[in-house]
A = this chain, B = another copy of it.
Amino acid sequence: MYGERVARWERAVEWPLMIAAILFLLAYAVKIIYQPTGAVDAASEVVLWATWALFALDYIVRLTITEQRWRWFYRHLLDLAIVVLPMLRPLRLMRFLTVLALLNRGAGNRLRGKVTIYTIGGTIVLILMAGLAVLDAERGGPGPIEDIGDAVWWAFVTITTVGYGDYVPVTDIGRIVAVALMIGGIALIGVVTATVASWIVERVADEEHKKAAATEDQVERLRDEIAELKSMIRELKPAA
């Protein structure tokens, strides 16, 4: 929609950005889980800033080479947010998951295949990121979440809306992360259900309507035949 140059650029940077996103996640995880000092800490910081710079650069390039700049800007506010809010950056990982979509062949399954991949990928990244963020916020505080195992376990319990209550965040940032996870959980239930429902509705329809509905094409061809009929009768007339 925004010119072929953007599409070509996006294809070119797909893999570099995916690797950058994974490096970002790893550096973030190292920083939070091991709380390193000295060289390791400095290296993590370098990776975090370098990957951020890459995503910012990608945003600026795309904004520059697109044909309809303002329209692109308004339709890619989330991309801007991803550059501005470093915490959201790993969501970028999602875009590259589409390569897995190659496994999903067949017309009707295409959209559902994509939705399934985005949902699984998005849920995993959301759980990992929320686990890291809540560990960062809660560790050393009055709450029970003190290591990464507890944090990821808490994230699973929350996103599935089970909510045992054995681990609960007590800090403000921890609670904000929890609310994001809960909203993710509601969305997760929604998407899973909707995908299954779409599949069932379609399969039931296939079972029942062996007799397909008449198509516009068919009726058009019928009309051509009648037009031919008319011209045949027109020829007949002077002869009579």
Q: Are B187 and A162 in contact (CB under 8 A)?
A: no
A110 to chain B, nearest CB (A): 6
Q: Are A208 and B108 in contact (CB under 8 A)?
A: yes
Bound-state Cα–Cα, A107 to B178, Å? 36
Q: Are A237 and B237 in contact (CB under 8 A)?
A: no
A102 at interface, CB cutoff 8 A: no
Q: Which residues of chain B come closer than 8 Å to A212, judged between CB atoms? A: 215-216
A219 at interface, CB cutoff 8 A: yes
Among A220, A227, A236, max chain B CB count under 10 A is at A236
Q: Are A230 and B232 in contact (CB under 8 A)?
A: yes
Contacting residue for A237 out of B187, B204, B208, B235, CB 8 A: B235
Q: Are A221 and B218 in contact (CB under 8 A)?
A: no
**Surface stretch bound by B, among A14-22, A25-33, A131-139, A163-171:** A163-171
Q: Which residues of chain B come closer than 8 Å to A222, judged between CB atoms? A: 219, 222-223, 226
Known: A190-B193, A198-B204. 10 other contacts (CB 8 A): A153-B175, A156-B182, A158-B162, A164-B165, A194-B196, A194-B197, A197-B198, A212-B216, A213-B213, A214-B218
A164-B168, A192-B187 given; A233·B236 CB < 8 A: yes
Bound-state Cα–Cα, A193 to B191, Å? 6
Q: Which residues of chain B come closer than 8 Å to A234, judged between CB atoms? A: 232
Bound-state Cα–Cα, A194 to B166, Å? 32
Contacting residue for A160 out of B161, B191, B229, CB 8 A: B161
Q: Which residues of chain B come closer than 8 Å to A223, judged between CB atoms? A: 221-222, 225
Bound-state Cα–Cα, A217 to B210, Å? 11
Bound-state Cα–Cα, A160 to B112, Å? 25
Bound-state Cα–Cα, A187 to B193, Å? 8
